[in-house]
Structure 1
């Protein structure tokens, strides 16, 4: 999730755990800082663009390493405030602020490597977009009210914000499963073979959903709004150059994207260059993570340092479409 959301979640956790044992601003400050700490890995350069992408949310988001770091950070905080009597409570506060960060990231589609150093599998539920105001605003409101209200009443407002935001996460999973069942039924009705299926929310909401389908010869894309009049989902198909993958078997960057995306990628050849694109983030034909990984020379493909060529969707074009499609208007996908 975005940094503001992680800050708000960490602050809310800090206030909830510390309660009246310390000033609300101290609990919010240290909870918020610990809640954003794992994302400092974004400033680490791993040598190339694909490594930077696939190693984000790695060790700094691993539950094992965060658990090891928690008592050290808690001891520093308790020592700074001369509050060693509450060291145990600070320990719990720091640990929860740290681990709720990757657990929240888990709910997005990007991929979070929770199990390092034992596994580098990128776990992802994909039921919430990386920025969703309906999740963030209750947290922010609860924290702000906790800081300005009387202590007892402020703690109740903070708890209410945590409860509402957690309930919204649960709702996102329920909505995702509902759309997934509709998508499977639509695929079966249309006789469209699916190797795999991914359902993720469109930006900033959990009403409009994007359905991504891997087919034997490419992928298909459809959209469904919970406000649609019909449960039918229409799909637009996009062929892939399936002959490219065997020729890139020794291309490590391409293989890393293939694994990190759980197979939801496409390969294409343009102007003598081979591009690999993570299909999970974006919408056809604009994707955030797309890289040139090889160049054709003398009839064969030679690996090259990954070159980012991803583009963000044009909000002036897609923004109005997203809003109208969210409201249930049957519109074709923006191209």
Structure 2
């Protein structure tokens, strides 16, 4: 989920914690636990700072080790120790328990996004992405905001957020239901489909679809239970040529290929060499595929510039590529 949603979730968990008698009967414990749930709801995303280094490092590592099994166990201990040093009279056991719930819930809800997370590390490095909830879901965020508003207005926070999370649970079930309906519709249109990726959008009834068959990539959109195919591309393996061998050595290309499960490629000759481009097919928007990895090579197949990330216009891409590779 996005930072804002994780933040309101942290406050909501602090309110839910008032169902714990140890927290409800002590102002000190309540304030300590509220701080713990807010911090715990944010701390797994500390790896976002990697974006300041470069996109390649960020793509390879975001939602990786900081969302892993060891991290989920370690973060609550560190948070509890930190807060307990500041508020030594706080109940450490309950501080740890609610810290753990906040961290676990952060990682758990991220699994339902299309981006996913490597929550099974170190047992498995595969990305777990169920693709039923958008990274920012306006309904989930709004329900939390309403719950917080009711709390401010005097409602019992424990009961309020218990009801709120039951409503969100039902919302998740509805998302799984409609995603399954879209999947069935895809199979009716493309019975030979080998891989079906269905990604949510911010709009409840709208889905992005990318399908792989033996010979073809299909890109479409889903609305309610219907599916429309918008683009088709011939599925071609990446050539094992000197140009592509050189391109794959670039860190931006390598990061893209480690992250993207469905993409097409193209190579174009330039006056001074070649441009190799990989295009992720999951994020079609207004006829455009904005998530790409591009590398420029000179005639000697030396990398002269590269980039991976979101590009919505050619001028921005040119600026990104007009820098020497690092």
* Partner-residue secondary structure (3-state), 2:42: helix
- Per-residue Cα deviation, 1:196-221 (whole angstroms, up to 9, x for no partner): 211122x3123112221124444212
* Partner-residue secondary structure (3-state), 2:115: coil
TM-score by length of 2: 0.80
The answer to whether the 8 Å contact 1:114/1:123 transfers is: yes
Give the equivalent residue in structure 1 for 2:162: 159
Give the equivalent residue in structure 1 for 2:236: 242
- Per-residue Cα deviation, 1:219-267 (whole angstroms, up to 9, x for no partner): 21222211x6xx4x33233325725443335715435433422x21221
Give the equivalent residue in structure 2 for 1:105: 110
Is 1:117 matched up with 2:119? Answer: no
Give the equivalent residue in structure 2 for 1:295: 297
Question: Matched residue pairs, number?
Answer: 298
- Per-residue Cα deviation, 1:87-129 (whole angstroms, up to 9, x for no partner): 1111111111112112111111113111223332221111111
Deviation at 1:45, TM superposition (A): 5.2
Cα 1:111–1:288 shift into 2, 3 Å: farther
- Per-residue Cα deviation, 1:33-90 (whole angstroms, up to 9, x for no partner): 2211221211125854223212111111113212122122113223423334x21111
Give the equivalent residue in structure 1 for 2:205: 207
Gaps of 5+ in 2: 314-326
* Partner-residue secondary structure (3-state), 1:145: helix
Give the equivalent residue in structure 2 for 1:172: 175
Is 1:12 matched up with 2:12? Answer: yes
**Root-mean-square deviation (Å):** 2.7
- Distance (Å, rounded) in 1 between the aligned partners of 2:237 and 2:122: 35
* Partner-residue secondary structure (3-state), 2:125: coil
Q: How does 1:62-211 map to 2 (within 5 A)?
A: 62-84=68-90, 86-149=91-154, 153-188=156-191, 193-201=192-200, 203-211=201-209
Is 1:43 matched up with 2:49? Answer: yes
Give the equivalent residue in structure 2 for 1:283: 285
- Distance (Å, rounded) in 2 between the aligned partners of 1:59 and 1:68: 11
Give the equivalent residue in structure 2 for 1:316: none
TM-score by length of 1: 0.78
Cα 1:50–1:126 shift into 2, 3 Å: same
Gaps of 5+ in 1: 314-335
* Partner-residue secondary structure (3-state), 1:234: strand
Cα 1:312–1:81 shift into 2, 3 Å: farther
Give the equivalent residue in structure 1 for 2:323: none
- Distance (Å, rounded) in 1 between the aligned partners of 2:256 and 2:308: 13
Cα 1:72–1:48 shift into 2, 3 Å: closer
Deviation at 1:5, TM superposition (A): 0.5
The answer to whether the 8 Å contact 2:67/2:119 transfers is: yes
Is 1:310 matched up with 2:310? Answer: yes
The answer to whether the 8 Å contact 1:15/1:27 transfers is: no
Cα 1:200–1:288 shift into 2, 3 Å: same
Give the equivalent residue in structure 1 for 2:319: none
- Distance (Å, rounded) in 2 between the aligned partners of 1:180 and 1:296: 44
- Distance (Å, rounded) in 2 between the aligned partners of 1:160 and 1:312: 41
The answer to whether the 8 Å contact 1:245/1:267 transfers is: no
